[in-house]
């Protein structure tokens, strides 16, 4: 064994122990006489002290440079009180080596490993194996491992079995674009990488597996945006003979445990509050509200219906809404803050952001002069504003009010410091509609998942002559701190209902048979009532680690451009490979 002890585990109780360590030179201070080396391995860092009396060890330490690989034998001793370092886990001890062997030398790294400095993301990813040596980077990868291990153990203990589903499957439209894999055996035909194991996990339930889970990789060929990646990992889970409450209770217990064990702070509320979808839209303008702070929307339309102020009256006449956010004690907000918030509202689609500052004496408001005293008094009453408060208002179509005011609310939460550190505000959002109308394509689409079930009371809305937009669903989403951590549903469990939904979505019987025939057929052979969830692991770790960058929680992520600076992929392939696959590139595509 090249090492018998981990650097980061040494404590005062180990004083006097002879140890064999191995690791990397994290830092080195050569004072001519004494040399100090911080030796780092996966467990942490310990200080080595070399004095010139041990000439061979001292000479090796003198030669060693940052990131060289050393093996050390020596004795642990307590540091003098004056040199104890309370910022280091091993800060009470140091190791006095008897031998230092250089196992490998290292070129100068392209960036600092021993300091948490900002490094260009492409450079970090190109040298990801060096980036992973940085303790703050490694910490998140270890956290991820521990969380996944906790999930597995929790589910094993409750009778779940882990089943791998194939990653070469049939292309099925699931919302996003599929990644395609050409078949060599059947030129011209393609496999697709799964967007999620949805169909396969349902087939497992039909196959008699009652409790399944998988830490599943899912692929979506989308244009990469800030926190989107082409491949993500989700806890994919399905259970037979359950209702909505059963699945939610299980996931709530799991996530409460994770938050308590790995969260840096506290749960805002347990049990998790349940919010109705429409209620969330009304109060926060979004179906994944951040509940760590207030600033809820207030509907102030009623007293303004007949207003002489055309911006308000006109918006209402056109079927729009007028909603406000009251900000406590900030009537004196700076001009600059107001301008920035106005820009934010505009980028959310609004034409502007109206405001009334209830400053004593004259109101601070460019719109007050267009409103009657009664109208202003009503706005004050409805929003609960008092002297000294500020009220922001957006009047527009409902979707615009929701989007713009949500952005304003989020920005206010941040700029006013209303978001408490370390708090995890989980909630369930339920009561989603089953279908939503897509005007561009003139068809209904599932709000979440075409397999999502609906209550009997909604059946009438799905029949000819009904309004499918009124149908309720068995969908539930888990949200935390303004992010969607997962979602799932109780599924449809008979063929007729599944065909009904597919038909409303505009799939002809032939298309249904071609794309979903396997599910439709399987539903005829005694499918149990069943449901499950898909919950993003990357997003969960981001929340726990307090990072906004999804690349921080993945060992080998793609760059934000979607390519991989480490392996240099994607790459063109040579003509022979294309020939075997029966593929011909367009002349405009780069050739190998």
Report residue 458: phi and psi, to 5°: -95, -5
- The residue (of 191 and 219) whose beta carbon lies closer to ligand ASP is 219
**Minimum distance between the CB of residue 279 and ligand ASP, rounded to whole angstroms?**
22
The residue from 196, 244, 383, 498 that contacts ligand ASP (CB under 6 A) is 196
Contact 25, 68 (CB under 8 A): yes
Minimum distance, C-beta of residue 27 to ligand ASP, in the bound complex (Å): 45
**DSSP structural state of residue 527:** P
Q: Which stretch binds ligand ASP (CB under 6 A): 42-50, 331-339, 494-502, 531-539?
A: 531-539
| Residue 489 touches ligand ASP, criterion: CB under 6 A | yes
What one-character-per-residue DSSP string does 267-317 give? BS-SSPPEEEHHHHHHHHSSSS--TTS---EEE--GGGTT-S-HHHHHHHH
Q: Based on the shown chain and the rule CB under 6 A, indicate whether residue 214 belongs to the binding site for ligand ASP.
A: no
Of 279, 263, 252, nearest to 426 (Cα)? 252
Measured from the CB of residue 499, what is the shortest distance to ligand ASP in angstroms? Answer: 19
Among residues 40 and 491, whose Cβ is nearest to ligand ASP? 491
Q: Which is nearer to ligand ASP, 532 or 557 (CB)?
A: 532
Query: For ligand ASP, what does the binding mask look like between residues 426 and 465, x meaning CB under 6 A?
Result: -----------------------x----------------
Q: Pick the piece of the chain touching ligand ASP (CB under 6 A) from 40-48, 293-301, 430-438, 530-538.
A: 530-538
CB of 234 to ligand ASP, least distance (A): 6
Question: What are the backbone dihedrals phi and psi of residue 9, each rounded to the nearest 5 degrees, phi first?
Answer: -95, -5
Number of residue whose CB is nearest ligand ASP: 534
What number of helices (H) and strands (E) belong to the chain? Answer: 16, 21
Phi, psi of 384 (to 5 degrees): 75, 15
Q: Considering the complex, what minimum distance in angstroms separates the CB of residue 491 from ligand ASP?
A: 8
According to CB under 6 A, which one of 259, 405, 429, 533 is a site residue for ligand ASP? Answer: 533
Stretch that binds ligand ASP, among 30-38, 207-215, 509-517, 529-537 (CB under 6 A): 529-537
Of 127 and 502, which has the nearer Cβ to ligand ASP?
A: 502
User: Measured from the CB atom, is 5 or 196 closer to ligand ASP?
Assistant: 196
The CB density around residue 529, as the number of other CB atoms within 10 Å, is: 15
DSSP class per residue in 79-104: PPGGG--TTSTTTTEEEEEEEEEEEE
- Phi first, then psi, for residue 590 (nearest 5°) are -65, 135
Q: What do you get for the CA distance between the two ends of the chain, in Å?
A: 46
CB nearer to ligand ASP: pick between 158 and 184? 158
Using the 8-state DSSP alphabet, how is residue 249 labeled? Answer: H
Q: Which is nearer to ligand ASP, 61 or 471 (CB)?
A: 471
Does 307 participate in binding ligand ASP (rule CB under 6 A)? no
- Whether residue 393 is preceded by a cis peptide bond, meaning omega within 30 degrees of 0, is no
* Nearest approach, Cβ of residue 214 and ligand ASP (Å): 11
Among 74, 263, 289, 488, which residue sits at the site for ligand ASP (rule: CB under 6 A)?
488
Burial of 168 (0-12, 13-18, 19+ CB in 10 A): exposed
- Cα maximum dimension of the chain: 95
CB-neighbour burial class of residue 543 (10 A; exposed 0-12, middle 13-18, buried 19+): buried
- Cα 95 to chain center, whole Å? 42
State in angstroms the smallest separation of the CB of 540 from ligand ASP: 14
- Main-chain dihedrals φ then ψ at residue 378, nearest 5 degrees: -65, -40
How many other C-beta atoms can be found within 10 angstroms of the C-beta atom of residue 519? 23
Q: In the complex, what is the shortest distance from the CB of residue 488 to ligand ASP, in angstroms, rounded to a whole number?
A: 4
Decide whether 220 or 330 has the Cβ nearer to ligand ASP.
Answer: 220
- Residue number with CB closer to ligand ASP (534 or 565): 534
Smaller CB distance to ligand ASP: residue 391 or 533? Answer: 533
490-509: contacts with ligand ASP (CB under 6 A):
none
532 contacts ligand ASP (rule: CB under 6 A): yes
Q: Are 33 and 51 in contact (CB under 8 A)?
A: yes
Nearest to 394 by CA among 538, 268, 298, 303: 298
Write down the least CB distance from residue 175 to ligand ASP, Å: 9
Kindly report the number of other CB atoms within 10 A of residue 439's CB atom: 6
Instruction: Determine, following the binding rule CB under 6 A, whether residue 254 of this chain makes contact with ligand ASP.
Output: no
Write down the least CB distance from residue 407 to ligand ASP, Å: 25
Q: Segment contacting ligand ASP (CB under 6 A): 177-185, 430-438, 527-535, 575-583?
A: 527-535
Give the interface size with ligand ASP as a residue count (CB under 6 A): 9
Q: Which of 10/427 has CB closer to ligand ASP? A: 427
**Residue 277 or 297 with smaller CB distance to ligand ASP:** 277
According to the binding rule CB under 6 A, does residue 534 interact with ligand ASP? yes
Closest CA to 488 of 166, 235, 122: 235
* CA gap 540, 553 in Å, rounded: 9
Q: Give the other-Cβ count within 10 Å of 229's Cβ.
A: 20
Of the candidate residues 114, 198, 202, 498, the single one contacting ligand ASP (CB under 6 A): 198
Taking the complex as a whole, the smallest distance from the CB of residue 487 to ligand ASP amounts, in Å, to 6
Measuring CA to CA, which residue among 519, 437, 523, 496 is closest to residue 172? 519
Binding window for ligand ASP (CB under 6 A); candidates: 71-79, 142-150, 324-332, 528-536: 528-536
Contacting residues toward ligand ASP, per CB under 6 A: 196, 198, 449, 487-489, 532-534
């Amino acid at each position: 064994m090249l090492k018998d002890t981990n650097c980061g585990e040494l404590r005062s109780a180990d004083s006097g122990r002879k140890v064999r360590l191995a690791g990397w030179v994290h830092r080195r201070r050569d004072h001519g006489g004494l040399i100090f080396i911080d030796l780092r391995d996966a467990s942490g860092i310990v200080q080595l002290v070399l004095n010139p009396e041990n000439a061979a060890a001292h000479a090796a330490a003198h030669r060693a440079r940052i990131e060289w690989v050393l093996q050390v034998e020596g004795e642990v001793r307590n540091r003098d009180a004056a040199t104890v370092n309370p910022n280091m886990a091993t800060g009470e001890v140091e190791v006095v080596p008897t031998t230092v062997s250089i196992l490998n030398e290292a070129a100068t790294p392209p960036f600092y490993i021993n300091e948490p400095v900002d490094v260009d993301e492409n450079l970090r990813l190109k040298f990801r194996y060096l980036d992973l040596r940085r303790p703050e980077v490694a910490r998140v990868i270890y956290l991820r491992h521990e969380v996944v291990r906790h999930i597995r153990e929790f589910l094993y203990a409750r009778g779940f079995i882990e089943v791998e589903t194939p990653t070469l499957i049939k292309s099925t439209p699931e919302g996003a674009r599929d990644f395609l894999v050409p078949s060599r055996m059947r030129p011209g035909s393609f496999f697709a990488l799964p967007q999620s194991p949805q169909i396969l996990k349902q087939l497992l339930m039909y196959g008699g597996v009652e409790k399944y889970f998988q830490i599943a990789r899912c692929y979506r060929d989308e244009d990469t945006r800030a926190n989107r990646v082409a491949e993500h990992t989700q806890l994919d889970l399905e259970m037979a003979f359950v209702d909505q409450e059963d699945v939610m209770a299980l996931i709530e217990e799991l996530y409460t445990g994770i938050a308590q064990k790995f969260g840096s702070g506290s749960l805002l509320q347990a049990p998790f509050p349940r919010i109705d979808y429409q209620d969330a839209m009304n109060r926060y303008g979004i179906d994944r509200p951040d509940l760590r702070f207030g600033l809820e929307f207030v509907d102030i339309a009623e007293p303004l219906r007949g207003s002489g102020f055309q911006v308000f009256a006109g918006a209402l006449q056109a079927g729009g809404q007028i909603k406000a956010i009251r900000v406590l004690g900030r009537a004196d907000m700076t001009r600059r803050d107001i301008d920035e918030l106005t820009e934010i509202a505009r980028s959310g689609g609004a034409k502007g952001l109206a405001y009334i500052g209830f400053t004593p004496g004259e109101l601070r408001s460019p719109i007050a002069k267009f409103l009657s005293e009664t109208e202003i008094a009503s706005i004050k009453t409805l929003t609960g504003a008092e002297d000294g408060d500020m009220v922001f208002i957006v009047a527009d179509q409902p979707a615009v009010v929701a989007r713009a005011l949500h952005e304003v609310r989020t920005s206010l939460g941040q700029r006013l410091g209303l978001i408490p550190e370390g708090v995890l505000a989980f909630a369930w959002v339920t009561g989603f509609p089953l279908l939503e109308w897509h005007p561009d394509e003139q068809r209904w689409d599932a709000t979440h998942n075409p397999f999502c079930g609906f209550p009997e009371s909604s059946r009438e809305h799905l029949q000819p002559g009904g309004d499918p937009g009124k149908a309720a669903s068995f969908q539930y989403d888990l949200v935390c701190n303004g992010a969607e951590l997962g979602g799932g549903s109780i599924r449809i469990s008979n063929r007729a209902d599944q065909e009904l939904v597919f038909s409303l979505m505009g799939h002809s019987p032939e298309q249904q048979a071609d794309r979903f025939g396997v599910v439709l057929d399987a539903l005829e052979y005694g499918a149990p009532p069943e449901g499950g969830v898909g919950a993003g692991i990357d997003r969960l770790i981001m929340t726990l680690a307090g990072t906004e960058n999804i690349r921080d929680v993945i060992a080998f992520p793609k760059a934000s451009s979607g390519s991989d600076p480490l392996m240099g992929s994607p790459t063109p392939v040579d003509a022979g490979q294309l020939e075997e696959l029966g593929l011909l590139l367009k002349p405009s595509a780069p050739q190998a």
